[in-house]
Amino acid sequence: MTGSFLSRNPSVPVMLGAILALVFAVTVFSEAMGGGLSTSFVKTLGMTLCLALAALAMDLVWGYAGILSLGNIAFFGLGGYMIGMWLMAARTRDVVTANLAAQPIPPTPSEIDAAVAGQIFGVVGSDSFPLVWAFSGSLAAQLALVVLVPAALAAVFGWLAFRARVTGVYLSILTQAMTLALALWLFQNDSGLRGNNGLSGLQNIPGAEGVPQAEVALWFLWGSAAALALGYLLSAWLVSGKFGAVLRGIRDNESRVRFLGYPVEGYKLAIFTLSAAITGVAGALYYPQAGIVNPAEMMPIASIYLAVWVAIGGRGRLYGAVIGAVAVSLVSSFFTSGRLPDLDLGPVRLVWVDWWLVMLGAGFVAVTLLAPKGLGGLVDLWSRRRGADRHGADLGPDAGALREQEAEA
Amino acid sequence: MTSLLEVSGVSVSFDGFRAINNLSFRIGPAELRAVIGPNGAGKTTFMDIVTGKTRADSGTVRWGEKGLSLTGLSEARIAREGVGRKFQKPTVFEDQSVETNLLMALKNRRGPFAALIWRPKPAEMERMRELAGTIGLSAHLARKAGELSHGQKQWLEIGMLLAQEPKLLLVDEPAAGMTPAEREKTTEILVEAAKTRAVVVVEHDMEFVRRLNCRVTVLHEGSVLAEGSLDHVTSNKDVIDVYLGR
Amino acid sequence: MRRMTRRALGVLALALCAGTAAAGPMQDLLQRNRALIEESSRRTIAPAIEAVATSGLPQAQQVLRAWQDKALAIDAAGRFWIAGEGAPLDPEGELAAPEGDLDRIKPNSGIRALLGTALVSFQLTDPDPARRMAGLDSILRDPEPELLAPLRASMAGETDPAIAARKERLERLLTMRFGEDEAARVAAIEALSGDISVEARGALNPLLATRRVAGPAGETPEGNLAARLVPGADGFGHAAAYAMLVDAGLAPPRPTDAQIRDALAANIEAGRVAGVPVAQLGDPGRRAAAYDALAGQGLVPPRVDEAQVEAALAAHGFHEIYLEPSAAVTDAARRALAAIDTKVTAMKGVDLGLDALSLASIYFLAAIGLAVTFGVMGVINMAHGEFIMMGAYTAYLVQQLVPDRTLSLIAALPAAFVVTFAAGVAMERLVIRHLYHRPLETLLATFGISIALQQLAKIAFGTQARPLTAPDWLGGAWIMNDVVGISHIRIAIFVLALMFLGFFLFLMKRTRLGLETRAVTQNPGMAASAGIDPGRVNMLTFGLGSGIAGIAGVAIGLYAKVTSEMGADYIVQSFMTVVVGGVGNIWGTLAGAAMIGGLQKAIETANPSNTLAAQTYMILVVILFIQFRPRGIVALRGRAAGD
């Protein structure tokens, strides 16, 4: 808690330097600049940075405050939906206006509205804008909603859950249920967000029709890198001060914090809401690069991935979340790209695209069992940071990272 | 005499078992009190009720001169009102340094936003070092609390309580697992603390209680069996029955 | 000319073959009515049909049917024949040779209907009860006023009590629709009051059919008035009301926006429409002005604005008239339907209760294994759903090996248990054992296993749903009445759930394993000192929980589809069941399953169009419920509950 910001956060300059170096290298070698890196790879990198930001937010709630939130993917998706509404509405309006201009009689504003609505909502059998699209015409409003909607959902849900003192796995299951509820709600056509079709064509940025995708991909890479860097700075500031000390106190011994007079619920709510807002921003940067956002992205299985990244990277350390997200998602896109030749093992044919999930699942179990500190633990080896001598079995990071209390049989 | 804490007619039961039965208790603003009693007498539950961890089924808990009711307030709120509690097992933040532990406990605004913008002031650092001196941990400020010995952790926890500047300190078996020298020091710290505030010590160890040299309340089956000096209560027939068995 | 020749030849042949082609009573009868039959007119045919039908001859029915099937024919000699699929028969039903070509009589649809009616009375008096029943069914399908008389006539001679009751009922249904006198109809309707069968409702509803009429305001139209309609209220919008006026010719049609645009486009002259530049037509006001100008020139029909619509609606009254003229009948029908509706609502409640019960059984089955592993051992097993899936796939494989459905089901239950028990034990030994006291990590590790198992199943069995067919005796349904019914599979699942509850209670309260499990749950250290091996107990308990999931998988597979994702469909609900019910108590799981199942059904009923939204609302309700009972319905209290 004392000392300068940098002395408390030695990883910050390293991380910022790494991000800067990556962005610089990719920009120089990108297709847009005449280099050899394909546009799809640049997009993959940009998306990976967004995932790292989401993982960072996950680490804030899980690694620092001990709340294993399986709802963060919902905030991620909501961020995507919020920006997607503007992208889709604005882009469709441009296209429709161009089409209608070719007709003998110029269209009235209400005719344009109706045509845009028909274009967007035709697939769900509707021809008018639902109420949730009220602000879709304004970029500024939707950008604000990117932060506000996930934060509001987190605030309401968190208030209910924390107030009832739901903790541990109960809280995880409840957040999982929240994610499922949101996904199911979005799946229905009446939700006003195009049901299972989701929002599509998000890679087309309104007003940038003439710009090649190679260049747009670079813009988003820069944007994602900037967001990650800012997010990292913000997170480092949050967790290295007294606020962070209280959070870790809550993680390790909630009732002690309470008996010190700290309003535990308030702290949990603050970090949960903040994490939701950061995740929303990450989602808003991710989905325009992915091109489509639909409710399947928020199904329970997706919610666990965020946790997996953080666990593999090593929770309770900010760089761990970033390393985990980058490593797993890059390896994942390598295996699922279909570029790897199938392996013929006599009776079984190893199709990597299929077997990757099996490997991920098994590998994840292995990390949990054998290396609870994750990849971040490697840094400890290098920096020779050691834990205190324990008087019992290793309790793992969950039961308080450094506890003398003997592990029970 | 005005009392700091006044518990009257409190009862609480778990699944039909009456843990506390019509208990009444009062303590003045600067008083040291020992609470003894056999296992299951309701000592810990009594502390749980005062600190808000357990809700009483009936009865009142009044606090301070204004007679604020503590029943229904949250644990954190009660702590901010000036009730500090030490658990039986040493509970400190083992993953954080001794310094951080103490700074977190220092009396301060407790809200999340206040914590975000908080920077240690020189006076606060000074107070922290002073407390570390009191509990004998000045040399260990940078160490992680998890690395301390059992007794040092107990002291650190007491130090954190003192840093809270509570008006009432509830201490649950502070001497358990301590060496005789450590007990001696713990006694000193508690007696010193009781000069400026109320301290309630729950203890099994009669030797330790004798050294505290204070009024003693004996709990049995959830209510007060006897109260007075140690010699007075140990000569009480009921108390002898309870401790030695019938 | 040629026809004449053939006739002559026929007469000749008749004389020659008098011995072979017998002239029987039916032939005579038909010959007597030949003129009418050959004329084949709806208006005049009745006496001919009547004559055949009432002849009392044994062949009458056969002849009428042949006639109806266009198989009654006349040969060159003018004699009637029945020309069926095989050789032609003479009307007495004997094989004989006709003269020359057969000329089939082709009755029109009106006559065929009359013939059908005549045939019905034969069917209703047929000696075979099945035929009589079939005749009644055909009347019910296609009720006609003409059927009333033969039905009534057949009632007196009916011997079978079941059919007699049915006839009586049908007579009532027909009477109330087609009966000649009002009092009889009202009586028939009132007799049906409270009858919830589909046919009763089907018969009553047409009595209340209405049509809508528009007329000048203040005027009440002729007929049996059902209701006065107010535009803008009760689903009768302004647009619909105005459309009625337009249809009735009481108001001019309203040009739509598209028509206006097309009219403008058709009248562009040198970049202007009625003097307004085309470029300005994007403005609604300018567009209206241009169109009005065109209307003023008489080129297009005038616009009708809101005020005009309002005025037109105000100047007219709208009414709903019953097609049925008798007010007494419609009143009685309304009362009867109201009484039926009340009863149907109550019955629907019963049906909903049964549905909820069966859904609760499924959740209970899915959750009971989880209650063991999560509730008793405190282990979060996210792969629990995949054990359900493994059980279902095991049953599918057994079904591939054993063709007999009943045998394969009997074999599948233990097989599923063994497979998932083994999988559970393996998982406990390899993974979970190392993660006790690290619940969040257990959650994540088992989720990793869940992902891997799901994907393995996808690789092994494909993404297609695999059928798991129930034996025939489980295929039917138990039907109480037209509203309340439940399929046998659901009953079986309910029974299975009850059996598991009993089994579980027995296991926990009466067996050594149960005792040891409870001991290890409460205090592992103490249990170990008492000579219980906690590792073994944990392993067996976990295996047991997994095995139960496998059996649940067989039941769920029979009821739903077997896919690699079926476990994932149940996992969240199962956890909610355990959490809502209260951890560590089988009665809590039961209560949780009842609450979740009941809630889901209730919400689905309140919002029937949208089961996805129903699930959303259910989860929200559960989240709110946790507010009030954070430890579930059956909660452990006090220090035992721990913190």
pLDDT above 90: residue B92: no
| Residue C14 phi, psi dihedral angles, 5° rounding | -55, -45
Among partner residues C282, C440, C451, which is closest to A357 by beta-carbon distance?
C451
Give the model's pLDDT for residue C638.
Answer: 39
- The reply to whether CATH 3.30.420 applies to domain C344-637 is no
Give the model's pLDDT for residue C279.
Answer: 83
Among partner residues B104, B120, B146, which is closest to A249 by beta-carbon distance?
B104
pLDDT above 50: residue C301: yes
The model's confidence at residue C630, banded by pLDDT at 50, 70 and 90, is: confident
Q: Residue range A291-319: average pLDDT? A: 86
Give the model's pLDDT for residue A399.
Answer: 41
Q: Residue range A135-155: average pLDDT? A: 94
Q: CB distance from C2 to chain B under 8 Å?
A: no
CB atoms within 10 A of CB A46: 26
Q: CB distance from B138 to chain A under 8 Å?
A: no
Q: CB distance from A111 to chain C under 8 Å?
A: yes
CB contact under 8 Å between C637 and B15, yes or no, is yes
Give the model's pLDDT for residue C95.
Answer: 67
CA A232, A237, A241, A247 torsion-angle sign: negative
Domain extent listing, chain C: 2-113, 125-208, 210-327, 344-637
Q: Closest Cα partner for A289 from A348, A386, A216, A210?
A: A216
Mean pLDDT highest for which of A53-67, C261-275, C429-443, C506-520?
Answer: A53-67
Mutation target vs C (from B11, B13, B15, B91; most C CBs, 10 A cutoff): B15
Q: CB distance from A118 to chain B under 8 Å?
A: no
CB contact under 8 Å between A256 and B164, yes or no, is no
Give the model's pLDDT for residue C391.
Answer: 93
Q: Which residues of B touch A2 (CB under 8 A)?
A: 99, 103, 120, 125
Q: CB distance from B144 to chain A under 8 Å?
A: yes
pLDDT above 80: residue C584: no
pLDDT above 50: residue C11: no
Give the model's pLDDT for residue C15.
Answer: 43
Q: Which residues of C touch B87 (CB under 8 A)?
A: none
pLDDT, tens only, B161-185:
889 889 999 988 888 778 888 888 8
CB contact under 8 Å between A108 and C287, yes or no, is yes
Among partner residues A106, A177, A354, which is closest to C459 by beta-carbon distance?
A354
Among partner residues B94, B113, B119, which is closest to A403 by beta-carbon distance?
B94
Q: CB distance from A107 to chain C under 8 Å?
A: yes
The model's confidence at residue A249, banded by pLDDT at 50, 70 and 90, is: very high
CB contact under 8 Å between B15 and C640, yes or no, is yes
Give the model's pLDDT for residue C417.
Answer: 94
pLDDT above 70: residue A383: no
Only one residue has tokens 């169109």, namely C291
Q: Closest Cα partner for C168 from C151, C185, C193, C143?
A: C151
Q: CB distance from A156 to chain C under 8 Å?
A: no
Q: CB distance from C630 to chain B under 8 Å?
A: no
Q: Residue range C361-387: average pLDDT? A: 84
Chain B, residues 84-113, CB within 8 A of chain A, namely 84-85, 87, 89, 91-96, 99-100, 103-105, 110-113
C-alpha A31, offset from chain centre: 27
Q: What does the mean pLDDT of chain B come to?
A: 86
pLDDT above 50: residue C16: no
CB contact under 8 Å between B15 and C639, yes or no, is no
Which CA distances in Å does A23 have to A282, A325, B190?
17, 17, 60
pLDDT, tens only, C179-223:
778 888 888 888 877 777 877 887 788 888 888 888 888 777 778
CB contact under 8 Å between A106 and C443, yes or no, is no
Which residue ranges form the domains of chain B, and what is each CATH number?
5-93+165-244 (3.40.50.300)
User: If 0-12 CB within 10 Å is exposed, 13-18 middle and 19+ buried, where does residue C590 land?
Assistant: buried
CB atoms within 10 A of CB A404: 21
pLDDT above 90: residue C278: no
Mean pLDDT highest for which of A317-326, B189-198, C198-207?
Answer: A317-326
Q: Which residues of C touch A301 (CB under 8 A)?
A: 451, 568
Q: CB distance from A169 to chain B under 8 Å?
A: no
Q: CB distance from C43 to chain B under 8 Å?
A: no
> Per the structure block, which two tokens stand in for B167?
């008006």
pLDDT above 60: residue A394: no
Q: Which residues of C touch B17 (CB under 8 A)?
A: 638
Q: What does the mean pLDDT of chain C come to?
A: 81
Q: CB distance from A234 to chain B under 8 Å?
A: no
The model's confidence at residue A262, banded by pLDDT at 50, 70 and 90, is: very high
Q: CB distance from B14 to chain C under 8 Å?
A: yes
User: C602 vs chain B: nearest CA distance in angstroms?
Assistant: 33
CB contact under 8 Å between C448 and A308, yes or no, is yes
Give the model's pLDDT for residue B244.
Answer: 65
Q: Residue range A194-207: average pLDDT? A: 89
User: Of residues C609 and C542, which shows the higher confidence score?
Assistant: C542
The model's confidence at residue C3, banded by pLDDT at 50, 70 and 90, is: low
pLDDT above 90: residue C420: yes
% of chain B surpassing 70 pLDDT: 98
pLDDT, tens only, C32-53:
888 888 777 878 888 888 788 7
Amino acid at B162: L
Q: Residue range C323-330: average pLDDT? A: 84
Give the model's pLDDT for residue C326.
Answer: 83
Give the model's pLDDT for residue C14.
Answer: 45
CB contact under 8 Å between A176 and C439, yes or no, is no
The model's confidence at residue C310, banded by pLDDT at 50, 70 and 90, is: confident
CB contact under 8 Å between A190 and C613, yes or no, is yes
> Per the structure block, which two tokens stand in for C11?
């007469």
pLDDT above 60: residue C636: no
Q: CB distance from C640 to chain B under 8 Å?
A: yes
Q: What is the dihedral angle through the alpha carbons of C170, C173, C176, C181, rounded to the nearest 10 degrees?
A: -10
CB contact under 8 Å between A249 and B89, yes or no, is no
Buried b (16+ CB within 10 A) or exposed e, C222-236: ebbbbeebebeeeeb
Q: CB distance from A338 to chain C under 8 Å?
A: no
Give the model's pLDDT for residue A221.
Answer: 94
pLDDT above 90: residue A25: yes
User: C638 vs chain B: nearest CA distance in angstroms?
Assistant: 5
CB pairs under 8 A between A and C: 179
Give the model's pLDDT for residue C18.
Answer: 41
Q: Residue range B193-201: average pLDDT? A: 89
Give the model's pLDDT for residue C76.
Answer: 78
The model's confidence at residue A407, banded by pLDDT at 50, 70 and 90, is: very low
**Contact residues for A206 (Cβ-Cβ < 8 A; gap 6+):** A87, A90, A91, A93, A94
Mutation target vs C (from B17, B51, B55; most C CBs, 10 A cutoff): B17
Which CA distances in Å does C442 have to B20, C432, C576?
38, 7, 18
User: If 0-12 CB within 10 Å is exposed, 13-18 middle and 19+ buried, where does residue B245 land?
Assistant: exposed
Among partner residues A249, A255, A263, which is closest to B110 by beta-carbon distance?
A263
If you write DSSP's letter for every residue of B65-90 in order, what string do you get?
TTTEE-TT--HHHHHHHTEEEE-SS-
Radius of gyration of chain B (CA): 18
Among partner residues C450, C576, C610, which is closest to A188 by beta-carbon distance?
C610
Only one residue has tokens 């967001």, namely A227
Among partner residues B94, B105, B116, which is closest to A404 by beta-carbon distance?
B94
- What's the complex ipTM? 0.88
Q: Which residues of C touch B14 (CB under 8 A)?
A: 637-640
Chain B, residues 42-101, CB within 8 A of chain C, namely 45
